Chains A and B, each alone.
Chain A
Amino acid sequence: MTTLAFTSTLSRPERATAATVRGAVAGAGLLVTVVLIGVGAFLAVAGWPGLTASSSELPLGASNFWALAAPLVFGSVWSAVLAVLIAVPAAVGVALYVTWFAPRAVAGFLAALVDVLAAVPSVVYGLWGLMALAPGLAPVYAWLGEHLGWFPLFAGQPSATGRTIATGALVLAIMIMPIIAAMCREVFQRTPRASIEAAQGLGATRWEVIRLAVLPFARGGIICGAMLGLGRALGETMAIAMVVSPAPFLIGFSVITSANPNTVAAFIAQVFPEAHDVEVSALIGLGLAMFLITFIVNACARRVARIYGEPR
């Protein structure tokens, strides 16, 4: 036993490589952290002058920042909520069809087809919504205004171009439906076999199996998907900017007129290219407000997911 059994450390170059790799990946992690925290801090600093700006400095000659922000935040939330109300039932139906009703052989293909809807760029949705969907819907709005004008949603002079918030919300709904459907599909597929077989063993029809075993199990996933869709709809810019014809400072619930509330994101995109000085700060302040709203919505989605033990 004269020599040591082994050299207890690695060679110098090997240790150097190990340290370099460790440093590089930890550095990347740290960089991501700094940048991400920086985004929030930086927006707050850059947006600050806008929050206290006077009327003469603000876009549209708004009396103060909050008078500018309130109608836009309303528009964002209103259009996103409408979109979610349209998209959730459709998404649940689509997901149910793909998992339970479609022939096995084509189910995968149909699911992929739905995902294609999610991949279409928003500017293309904007172009299509504006030039194809809106003119198509204009007669519908005219009919609604004529026959259901007493109902607050359909009050006012119907838009002749169809470029209303209803069209915008419909486009948003088409955009977020695949996101919600993907989430629903995932939870539908993970319904415990035992529950399904228990229901089938009791002689349940296909729909009864779905109602008794599948839907109760999937409730959390559906809510989570709806929240994720809401977050996405709130931040969507181009579709609304191109499709909806906005009126300044408007807060209103009619969805078929040519005077519509604008959204934060669309407003920024429309005004930014010509904005300068404090106007830019005000727009950044608006962006920050929207970031906070989407953050809260997404945090709620994660909370729901955790309560119900769903993925993500």
Chain B
Amino acid sequence: MSTSYRVDWRRRLTDRSMTVVVTGCFVAAMVPLVWLLGTVVTKGLARFDWTFFTSSMRGIVGDGGGALHAIWGTVLITAATVAISVPIGVATAIYLTEYGSGWLPRLIRFLVQVLTGLPSIVAGLFIYALVVILAGPGARSGVAGALALSLLMTPVVITSAEQMLRLVPTSVREAAIGLGAAKHAIVATIILPHAASGILAGVMLGVCRIIGETAPLLLVAGFTDAMNSSIFDSRMATLPVYIYSQWQNKGADLAAYDNRAWTAALVLIGLVLIFNLTSRLITHRFAPAAQGVGD
């Protein structure tokens, strides 16, 4: 009786067909990505011109105009969001890992988990209701948008920063404790520098999440055709809301509005990808530093 080293044909067939199915799944999942990026790039290039980046929509009906005001609004609101959520988020993460004990850290972790799943439009509603009380109905401003986005970004920053702070090896902490360092000095001199790149990568991913947010900004920052450089005063346009409104409030020249929306989408995807890739690069570049040799 000869020994066969071949798996019987039925098992081999199953194996082959499942390979085809799984590979097919992956290819199918790539179809929308390629289709979407292809559409955005081809249609977006139509208005990817100097005017688009240098003018607003003030007084524009039909062709021409640009998204300078929306790009500027996105930059300002994103910067304000980072300025609010990063200090609070990192400080809270330090509290959770280095200082907290008892019920408060447990409560904070629970609430942060809850908030991580907060639908963005609900964040917008909350800030809207708050602004109505403080500034009267109908008030819209960039800072209100930044507050709503901070509600979405702070939990992300807390979670990722806490993870990074926990990665600092015990041996490094003990070295500092053994040298007679007070806790605040250890945090400032040893732990934060050690975790800085990881925290930065987390912040970048947080920015990725909020820079494309539309719904809350639609509610609380509103939309305008003109430049507005004050985040504290009146409506402020942003790129995502610009895309929505170009589609929503079309004038007679349909193509002009569609083209502007696609170009804005191209710019927005570009921004998101830049932040995403930078975050990956930081993680990749500094990953070895996260593990101490002395551990």
Stretch of A19-27, A152-160, A191-199 lying at the B interface: A19-27
Known contacts A93-B21, A205-B7, A272-B219: A234-B119 contact under CB 8 Å? yes
Contact A26 B99 (CB under 8 A): yes
Residues of chain A from 258 to 312 with CB closer than 8 A to chain B in the complex: 265, 268-269, 272-273, 276, 280, 283-284, 287-288, 290-291, 294-295, 297-298, 302
Contact A205 B215 (CB under 8 A): no
- Chain B, interface SS category: helix
State how many angstroms separate the Cβ of A89 from the closest Cβ of chain B: 7
State how many angstroms separate the Cβ of A22 from the closest Cβ of chain B: 6
State how many angstroms separate the Cβ of A260 from the closest Cβ of chain B: 18
Convert B67-93 into 0s and 1s, putting 1 for each residue whose CB lies closer than 8 angstroms to a CB of A: 000000000000000000001100110
Convert A229-250 into 0s and 1s, putting 1 for each residue whose CB lies closer than 8 angstroms to a CB of B: 0011011111001100000000
CB contacts (< 8 Å) of B215 on chain A: these are: 237-238, 241, 265, 268-269
State how many angstroms separate the Cβ of A289 from the closest Cβ of chain B: 10
What number of residue pairs across chains A and B have CB atoms under 8 A from each other?
252
Known contacts A29-B105, A43-B122: A18-B183 contact under CB 8 Å? yes
A130 at the A/B interface (Cβ < 8 Å)? Answer: yes
Contact A237 B125 (CB under 8 A): no
> Which of under 10, 10 to 19, 20 to 34, or 35 or more describes the interface residues of B?
35 or more
A positions within 8 Å CB-CB of B: 10, 14, 17-18, 20-22, 24-33, 35-37, 39, 42-43, 46, 89-90, 92-94, 96-98, 100-102, 110, 112-117, 119-128, 130-133, 174, 177, 181, 203, 205-208, 210, 228, 231-232, 234-238, 241-242, 265, 268-269, 272-273, 276, 280, 283-284, 287-288, 290-291, 294-295, 297-298, 302
Give 8 new A-B contacts, CB below 8 A, not counting A21-B183, A121-B269, A280-B132: A25-B91, A29-B105, A101-B23, A205-B12, A206-B19, A208-B14, A242-B247, A269-B215
B positions within 8 Å CB-CB of A: 7, 11-12, 14-15, 18-19, 21-26, 28-30, 32-33, 35-36, 39-40, 87-88, 91-92, 94-96, 98-100, 104-105, 107-108, 111-123, 125-126, 128-130, 132, 137, 151, 154, 158, 182-184, 187-188, 208, 211-215, 218-219, 222, 240, 243-244, 247, 258, 261-262, 265, 268-269, 272-273, 276, 280
